[in-house]
Structure 1
């Protein structure tokens, strides 16, 4: 007869085998979806000359188009069907979140609607994604038509319609693909799509560094310093993203009949970086927008009173002192702003009060909410400083070397998405290991575990 240790080992191996099969399927589905996404970034929209557009894109690479090109894995530089990527969907999600805190009907759906309310808000997000994608694709078509006739080989009206349909359809397909990856794959699908676009640009950035070193524009020590800085920034991001302040939550004891229930304690974790990667993305978009608009305008035809605009806008590019100053200030602002949207101390304190939980030494209700707000504010100060340092250190290198692909935003997104994906993989392994163990033990204990004892009697 097998010992208890042997049975436990067999049960754990059984659960691991079952989980490995399911996890393999999820991983293969995720890789296949990312492969489909990468293929779409090389398919140009109808009616565009890819070679002529690539040449014209080089003059706009330092504006907002360069940032979108980084997030889309080079799709913007090729004007592919996935040029908009999932940025309209992300913008729509943020707008719906903001409206969910300010618009009373949506706030009621978010708080009291449950699963049905969440599905309704998700549907509103999809509708808003379509609207934003149509507006952005229309703007892109008009910019291409007015930039130069050599870029477009179709009639203006027909080109506008096909461009809007193609780019909007590409965004909706990526939105659907991201949802499928989240449900049937591993990790958050939308985040993985952005992650894949950034990682796809990494080999080109490394090749640029080696090219600059070979031509003498960058010495070997500088290249080594950049790699060392990248490793240090990654380790710093991992440490800060794992850091959290745990507030002790105590639940009172209650007597039901002759038994005592409750008296348990748990922790309310507060992350240092509650806002995530939203602040640097918003700050970059707003700062690079004037440079992009100025690039599409004919500066030679500006009125006399506006002749200072090109030189002023030129200071709002990567590596410029004014850009770095405003970039850091806006990151701090959006960190506090988005944290206040994501975490509501009053709502959290009210939920704790409803379930009988309390913070030791602090009265439930308003006192608890004030204490949470005090702790969260101090954590947000540290988080804002952390994000600002991570994003500005690579920008300082940009002022000396032409390395736009090593932006702090891209490093932050890459590390955080990798950490979240690895955590989900570990959760899948652990949960299925326990499920296999419980199923196996129930099968043996229920069918054959009790019968020998009854027979012995």
Structure 2
């Protein structure tokens, strides 16, 4: 890995991309320290610590929520807006047609998503500030000011992510989430080690947590790299005086093709009640939800089913076996033992459903493992499975993109 990074550093354009990405991530982390005016931070920190359903959002923002900086919501409203737009593109024919218009259509969808992000961020910011008692000044204009500051922070985070997409390495939005998670996890690990040092947590319990955490990292890495390869045989053809084709290649289908998105989508939806209950934090429903969230068996079941459903849903809208079959046929290829056309599409679809099933089961088990472990032995894992999955997947995907850049220049990669 370090050899690849050194080789990348020797190439001027890749060095610029790496430096640009690091600079934008540094800018994002610096903005995370800009305070929101008119906020009582001690009150907010105490409120967030007492509401378990905000823990995942606090992790994704790198503890910015409990500090209530202008990046308190991070990129969460953008994720919610993306979920809404993907669902609307399936439900509304005009948006579906716009999505199929190619690059111009995708640009229009992206622009609409930006507007939805800012509007949703403003409403979510006001809900959080009211629910958490963020300000001692309860005048309406003060909450409007806080809402504008937080929605502006979200817009800045979205802009930074898009700039990384255009000029840097990796997926900008994912890298912002990655930066927040790493900042949060590092603090959690240090706190856990201190608890072991002072005797608050036994050494044996710490050893068990360490082994389980390492096993989760290995499992996430292996599944993220796993793929099913469908062989493709191309027919020979004569072009001029030369014979072309006849070679055998393959189509790689990732075991976890949807990546971390189903987990992020499911977590975002499970977080939605917090926005509603933030207006009535002392109500019976809010207290019940706080008890239900993250600990009960029903929560584990619902969360797992949502991850399962989103995995199949996202795969269905991003993977088109019919189009893949057409491309294979147009290029003179075929799957050995399978006829071209519809039989090929059906075969690819069957393989896709099988590996998607395994990927969905893996995501669901991994996401509910910390809760199950807590209910079994009463210990909290410092590394949440959802956060760990996102961090590892983003790191691997970024490494893949860097490797692809290196392979274009005939350098040896490190993810073989």
The interval holding the TM-score normalised by the smaller chain is 0.7 to 0.9
State yes or no: 1:93 paired with 2:93.
Answer: no
Q: Measure the CA separation in 2 of the matches of 1:295 and 1:155.
A: 15
Tell me, yes or no, if the aligned pair for 2:31 and 2:70 is still in contact at 8 Å: yes
Structure 1 match to 2:156 = 173
Q: Secondary structure at the match of 1:269?
A: strand
Distance 1:88 1:163, change over 3 A: same
For 1:156, which of 134, 139, 142 is the aligned residue? Answer: 139
Q: Measure the CA separation in 2 of the matches of 1:101 and 1:263.
A: 40
Structure 1 match to 2:266 = 283
Tell me, yes or no, if the aligned pair for 2:164 and 2:170 is still in contact at 8 Å: yes
How many Å apart are 1:48 and its aligned residue?
0.7
Structure 1 gap segments, 5+ residues each: 1-14, 303-308, 435-457
Q: Secondary structure at the match of 1:246?
A: strand
Structure 2 match to 1:81 = 70
Q: Measure the CA separation in 1 of the matches of 2:366 and 2:8.
A: 41
Tell me, yes or no, if the aligned pair for 2:169 and 2:401 is still in contact at 8 Å: yes
Q: What do the CA deviations read for 1:112-167 (whole angstroms, capped 9, x no partner)?
A: x33333323322322222232233223234435xx4xxx42446232232122211
Range moving further from structure 2, 164-173 or 204-213: 204-213
Structure 2 match to 1:192 = 175
Structure 2 match to 1:251 = 234
Q: What do the CA deviations read for 1:12-64 (whole angstroms, capped 9, x no partner)?
A: xxx9588444333322222221122112222221111112221222222x11x
Q: What do the CA deviations read for 1:358-377 (whole angstroms, capped 9, x no partner)?
A: 32222233222221121111
Q: Measure the CA separation in 2 of the matches of 1:327 and 1:44.
A: 33
- Flag the structure with higher helix content: 1
CA radius of gyration, larger in: 1
Q: Measure the CA separation in 2 of the matches of 1:164 and 1:178.
A: 21
Give the total of aligned pairs: 405
Range moving further from structure 2, 170-179 or 347-356: 347-356
Tell me, yes or no, if the aligned pair for 2:129 and 2:135 is still in contact at 8 Å: no
Tell me, yes or no, if the aligned pair for 1:349 and 1:369 is still in contact at 8 Å: yes
The alignment's C-alpha RMSD in Å is 2.7
Q: Measure the CA separation in 1 of the matches of 2:94 and 2:240.
A: 43
Q: Measure the CA separation in 1 of the matches of 2:96 and 2:392.
A: 32
Distance 1:349 1:95, change over 3 A: farther
Q: Secondary structure at the match of 2:408?
A: helix
Q: Measure the CA separation in 1 of the matches of 2:145 and 2:139.
A: 10
So what's the TM-score if we normalise by structure 2? 0.87
Structure 2 match to 1:123 = 111
